[in-house]
Chain A
Amino acid sequence: MLTKVHSGLDPVPGVWWKPAHKAEKVWVAIAFAWCMVLFAMMPLWHWKGGQNPSGIRRRVDAVKFYERTVEFAQQYKIGEYRGVPIAAPPPGSEVYLTGMTFQWYPILQLQAGATYRLHMSSLDVNHGFSLYPLNVNFQVVPGYDYALQVTPTEAGDFRIICNEFCGIGHHTMVGRVIVVDADGKPLADNAHAVIRDREAK
């Protein structure tokens, strides 16, 4: 028998398109309005907000991108740390960063408040760019150059954790970004947190 009150286990009359009750209509309307808010926030943030995934991207040859990165590192090299060059490009310049198993190349030294165009790609497999401790995350895909306009807002000694599985040494893959203030602090060569804190005292 088909009754009007039924559970989800009962067959229903062929025509089940019946008007909804008031409470359901109200909830559907509220939920729909909320969905529109959720949707509107994204274009709104592109317009007014400061943190957006950019659309600046192109296909590249992985090896050519790496060669460009090496060239960049040589051009702006100011020193070395644990065998990795430290590149200090001028404000407004194009910056290159290559991920490869299991390192980030090179170490970057940027200035707080200046804007750079950071190009990221990979020489081999997928990597994940995760800026520690700020928790800014981007995917790094071989064959694609992803360019982000970045403006570091404060000085500090930052790390780049790889957060996309890239092989057995994935958990050892850490890079470094140093952001210096107007006085050139922290220094690139002895800039890790412990020493910096000692200097501050």
Chain B
Amino acid sequence: MSTVATFPHRICPATGRVIATSAESLIKVNAVVAVVALLIGAIAALLLVLTRWQAVHLLPAEWYYRILGVHGMNMLIFFIIYFEMAVLWFASTVLLNARPANPKLGWFSFGLMMAGTLMVEWAQWTGRADVLFTSYPPLKAHPALYLGVILFAVGALTVTGLFFATLVIAKREQRYEGSVPLVVYGAVTAAIIAVITLLHGAMIYIPTFLWSIGLIKSIDPQIYRMIWWALGHSSQQINVAAMVAVWYMLSGLTIGGVVLNEKVSRSAFVLYVLFISMASAHHLLVDPGFGPAWKIVNTSYFMYLAVLASMIHGFTVPAGMELGMRLRGFTDGLFGWLRRAPWGDPGFSSLVFSVVVFGFVGGITGVTIGTEQINIIAHNTMRVPGHFHATVVSGTAMAFMGATYYLLPLIFRRKVAFWGLAKMQPYLFSIGMLLLSMGMTFAGSFGVPRRHWDISFAQSPFEVTFNPAVDIVLAVMGIGGILAVTGALAFIAIAVKSVFFGEAITTWPLGKEIAGIPQGLTMPPVHAANVDELNEQLHDEKRGIAGATPGTLVLVGIFLLAFVVYYFTNWKLLSFLWKVG
């Protein structure tokens, strides 16, 4: 029986799950460090956005490039990966009522990651690593940068190993019946991709470290770009897999979202594992090192099968939400389920924003600019950060923030502080990020380069004057960035206040709203006793092609239409250029 545990633990009052004490502290410490990294990254973000907004142009050149490197490392590596370590510990222990494998080694790995983090921060802040996040050779940084990344990666790889070991233990000790839940399956996907990714990281950072201390004469810049991006882009697929897992989790917790079909959702996760590491090619489409055939096969994840996976989740997640709501009696019309959802629950609003912005903005722009030829009008322009801020920030970070609103009462056993602010935070953050992404994307369409201190080109030998519209879209980016940073700082304030000074809670009465506890925990979304029967009725053949989830079918139809229009518009724009080939 899964509730009888022989290891030190407590029973969750809301969900009845067994929470191992040793796992709980590992989840907490990783989540706290993630938030600290987020704080550093957010302050950096504010400085950057106020510099790229040409009308403000805050930082001097040297500090702009330095802070850009700091922002990349803290957000894309430290914040995201520490949080993912927390997710891995959570998924393998709490969701399976299990104990963690070797928590001592878990702490040692955390120590390694911390040592690596501090080395990288030191190298960057002291100006010893002004090579930006990508550190393309022959640009050379202090060895501490490369060694720091290596230590961090070894730590993360060890935690991933412990995650797999924990799954084996949970199975062997019969902590759950049948197969692991879908959310854990998604976490397994993320962990497998993490192994692939981190091995690429080792392949490239170890030689580069040896080069930086003089043991290797040179690093081929093109090969570096290929292998580095097998780390750099594939690691974003860890985020995608972890984010989708969190989507399924929040869907279940907030509104009783169900899994329509395990086969469909799990197969989609398998597609990620099989094809995602080909994404390195997205950065090499206009590089000299590779021919067209290699580029086409790789950039498309072998015929877009990983895109297919995301499009499947893009249907099954909202459809699961719709069906869950309909099974709870919210059956009116096409969108009654959506209208009557708990929009004041920050876990729910985060989920919706994450799905919508990731799909409509991040997904569509990503596939489009990752097309071999269309990349000619996108490579290294601001369209690129416009795309990935919509995926990794509006998508992954937003989902992780939503999950945090549930982890605070469930794991930290604190009420969510500043509850009124917490309810607004997803709206503020998401709308800000949306403006930022769109501003960047449009600026990029005018050819505004990314990673560039001065697009007025004041110190250049030849004058360059961008279209006046660029000033407007950069202002949109600036305002969006300020809103988003405000949203991020609000999140940090809520998290820090809750964790360190929040009101402790051990149990709470069910069935009434309590400020500081998300609705999914005070009024858990329970299905009726005859839910399977209702489910059969909703899936009746007579309901035709729309089936049980007609609203979602309309939504994905709109999505596909937007996708087709955006994609072919870009081909049209491309056709206006000089003949190149």
Contacts and interface: CB of A to CB of B under 8 A. Distances in A.
Interface residues of B, number: 122
Given A9-B181, A43-B296, A170-B453, A18 B262 contact: yes
A124 B221 CA distance: 10
Given A2-B177, A18-B262, A168 B65 contact: yes
B214 interface: no
Contacts of B114: none
Interface stretch (B30-38, B420-428, B546-554): B546-554
Contacts of B378: 137
A165 B132 contact: yes
9 closest residue pairs by CB, A with B? A7-B252, A8-B248, A146-B288, A163-B449, A35-B304, A135-B447, A16-B262, A23-B547, A151-B579
Given A133-B467, A144-B222, A159-B462, A125 B578 contact: no
Interface string A119-142: 011001110101111111111111
A38 B371 contact: yes
Given A150-B578, A164-B380, A35 B288 contact: no
Nearest to B323: A5
A50 B535 CA distance: 53
A31 B312 contact: yes
Interface of B: 61-62, 65, 95-96, 130, 132, 136-139, 176-183, 186, 220-222, 225, 245, 248-249, 251-253, 256-266, 284-289, 291-292, 295-296, 299-300, 303-305, 307-308, 311-312, 315-316, 319-320, 324, 327, 367, 371-373, 375-381, 445-447, 449-455, 457, 459-467, 527, 531-532, 535, 539, 545-549, 552-553, 556, 560, 563-564, 567, 571, 574-575, 577-581
Contacts of A19: 263
A33 to B, nearest CB: 10
Nearest to A149: B581
A53 to B, nearest CB: 5
Given A11-B176, A145-B288, 18 more contacts: A5-B327, A8-B181, A11-B96, A11-B178, A24-B261, A53-B285, A53-B372, A84-B461, A103-B461, A130-B380, A134-B447, A134-B577, A136-B376, A142-B221, A149-B579, A171-B459, A172-B459, A173-B460
B463 A165 contact: no
Contact of A124 (B138, B252, B253): B138
Interface string A149-179: 1111100000101111111111111111000
A136 B578 contact: yes
Given A39-B303, A163-B449, A13 B571 contact: no
Interface in A1-44: 2-14, 16-24, 26-28, 30-32, 34-36, 38-39, 41-43
A23 B550 CA distance: 9
A157 to B, nearest CB: 9
